[in-house]
Structure 1
Amino acid sequence: MTVVGALFDKGGVGADFTAKLVESFKKAGLENITFQHVNLPAGRHLENETDTKFSMNSLTVTIPTFAGAAKAMGAEVPSSVLENLEERFEKEMMERGATFMSVVVCGQKPL
């Protein structure tokens, strides 16, 4: 489980919340609902140094917040995962890069 997944579980949403989004949109009365997976390359997976650093920086700044929230909420994340997380993340992004799966869910409110 990831730090983010553990936070979602601890917060009651569940790490698998994306699988429930379409149904939630329907319950909210939305129509024409679309669900799309989007793969977002980051770090070394990008073609130039500017984009590589930008992608890393935009994610690195969130690490202290997620790590602090995980500790404060008592999320099931081993302390070894949180130790030096920012430095390990930056190193891995420069050496290997990553692809982050995201979802885009849209719906329309009926007129």
Structure 2
Amino acid sequence: METLNFRFEKGNRQLVLPANMVGVVSSGNLEVLIESAELNGGCEVEIKTAAVGFGAIWQAVISDFHQRWALENVRILINDAGATPAVVSLRLDQAVESVTGAAA
């Protein structure tokens, strides 16, 4: 298992979730949890993955996601068991859409 952590600054879209509500999207090989958190305007992403050695690919996928959504004060946890980058991107978008009702 490998754990990767990313943090992005200068987001401009804040999610407002009721207390204790977490957006969850999952499939057979990927789970995304998203929650509001006081992060001084940042967006933090933690990835736990069984596919070791793909940090650069994760960086690209997560950076692309942040460019689309520009989230602030949001924490995202990804539990991965070998999803492809396209599936990761889709599930991330679905997680945000599940709590905002908006598309990127």
TM-score (norm 1): 0.23
Structure (1/2) with the larger helix percentage = 1
TM-score (norm 2): 0.25
Structure (1/2) with the larger strand percentage = 2
